Amino acid sequence: MDLKSKIILISGPTASGKSNFSIKLAKKVNGEIINADSMQVYKELKILSARPSPKDYQKIKHHLYGFHSVKKNFSTGDWLKIAIKKVKEIKKRKKIPIFVGGTGLYFKALTDGLVSIPNIPIRYRNNIRDLQKKLGQKKFYQKLIKLDPNSKEKINPTDTQRSIRAYEVIQFTKKPLHDWFQNTKSYFNKDDFFKIYIDYPREELIQRIGKRVEKMIKHGAVKEVRKFIKLKVRKDKSVNKAIGINEIKEYLKEKKDLTDVIEKISIKTRQYAKKQSTWARGNMMSWLKLYPQDLNKYLKKIK
């Protein structure tokens, strides 16, 4: 299989061995790796985000890992702009760009384009959030459906975040969110991509997640969160959603047993892996699905 003209995408649930596979593949096809994980962009979250090691960086050139401050916002749009530049640079060097990560929105932005909705003033957005809190999600959702009936098919009644987003967009732009998405185009052609999804049997993945969390704690995750707390990052920053931060903060306050922390982080990670798999079923149906036992066999087929 000849991949020299392609942009390779490698996704899969957390702890599925994406990084290891991508390094082996990059060696084989003369590629360079670009991060497609929203938490691995932050320089202060090396351990909790399971960023590649310095040894990995020596083997293959890596891009967009640990370069952004947790104190600053970093959107999918910000990532996409830099990612497109990196693809151009890598291709100029006659190498193959290989995107690796588990953030579905990053891959969707790359392959389908990113919707260019006008910036909505923060004061306006806060007013919508206040309205949602005042009405409660059930009444707020009904109000959204009156404004935009198509939302009923696209948004789950319990999905607060997407409901608020759809409401603020139609109120501010006078155009439904669905219409904005329909006019979206990717910078690349569909044929430019070769897409691989690494899937793991659920029980095996649960074991891998448990081992990974134990390793994170052993390698200094608690110390990393202590440093993070000192930075006094605002609560509205998306980095606060990183799995492990709140669990370790709780441990530092209450001084519970570390095994309790490991269990809590493991459960949260398993839940996240399940969400990733659900996303993949809905958005990555056309991707080549590989199971762990297939990976090395597949590498042998590639020219």
Q: How confident is the model at residue 89 (pLDDT cuts 50, 70, 90)?
A: very high
96-100 and 193-198 beta bridge pairing: unpaired
pLDDT at 1: 58
Q: How confident is the model at residue 2 (pLDDT cuts 50, 70, 90)?
A: low
Domain assignment present for 199: yes
Cβ–Cβ under 8 Å, residues 138 and 157: yes
Percentage of the chain with pLDDT > 70? Answer: 99
Q: How far is CA 202 from its chain centroid?
A: 20
Q: Do residue 55 and residue 76 come from a single domain?
A: yes
Q: Do residue 202 and residue 80 come from a single domain?
A: yes
The string of pLDDT tens digits covering residues 186-200 is 889 999 999 999 999
- 76: closest CA among 27, 34, 38? 38
Percentage of the chain with pLDDT > 90? Answer: 73
Tokens matching residue 278: 């659900």
pLDDT at 54: 92
Q: Do residue 199 and residue 270 come from a single domain?
A: yes
C-alpha to C-alpha distances, 238 to 41, 42, 169, nearest whole angstrom:
12, 11, 20
Q: Of 182, 209, 225, which residue constitutes the final position of a domain? A: 182
pLDDT at 198: 96
Q: Do residue 143 and residue 109 come from a single domain?
A: no
Q: Do residue 59 and residue 45 come from a single domain?
A: yes
Q: Of 182, 214, 233, which residue constitutes the final position of a domain? A: 182
Domain that holds residue 139: 122-182
Q: Do residue 240 and residue 280 come from a single domain?
A: yes
Higher pLDDT, 285 or 2: 285
Check pLDDT > 70 for residue 228: yes
Q: Do residue 98 and residue 173 come from a single domain?
A: no
d(CA 247, CA 48): 11
Q: How far is CA 98 from its chain centroid?
A: 16
The string of pLDDT tens digits covering residues 231-269 is 999 888 889 999 999 999 999 988 778 899 999 999 999
Domain assignment present for 2: no
Check pLDDT > 70 for residue 303: no
CATH of the domain at 20: 3.40.50.300
The string of pLDDT tens digits covering residues 158-192 is 888 889 999 999 999 998 888 887 777 888 999 99
Question: In DSSP terms, which residues pair with 7 in a beta bridge?
Answer: 193
pLDDT at 192: 95
Q: Do residue 221 and residue 255 come from a single domain?
A: yes
pLDDT at 146: 93
pLDDT at 213: 97
Domain assignment present for 12: yes
Q: Do residue 279 and residue 168 come from a single domain?
A: no
Q: Do residue 237 and residue 93 come from a single domain?
A: yes
Number of domains in the chain: 2
The string of pLDDT tens digits covering residues 14-67 is 999 999 999 999 999 999 999 999 999 999 999 999 999 999 999 999 999 999
Domain assignment present for 86: yes
Check pLDDT > 90 for residue 117: no
Domain assignment present for 50: yes
Q: Of 131, 158, 182, which residue constitutes the final position of a domain? A: 182
pTM to 2 decimal places: 0.83
Q: Do residue 98 and residue 233 come from a single domain?
A: yes
pLDDT at 154: 81
CATH of the domain at 144: 1.10.20.140
d(CA 200, CA 93): 34
The string of pLDDT tens digits covering residues 132-141 is 999 999 999 9
Domain assignment present for 260: yes
Q: Do residue 35 and residue 68 come from a single domain?
A: yes
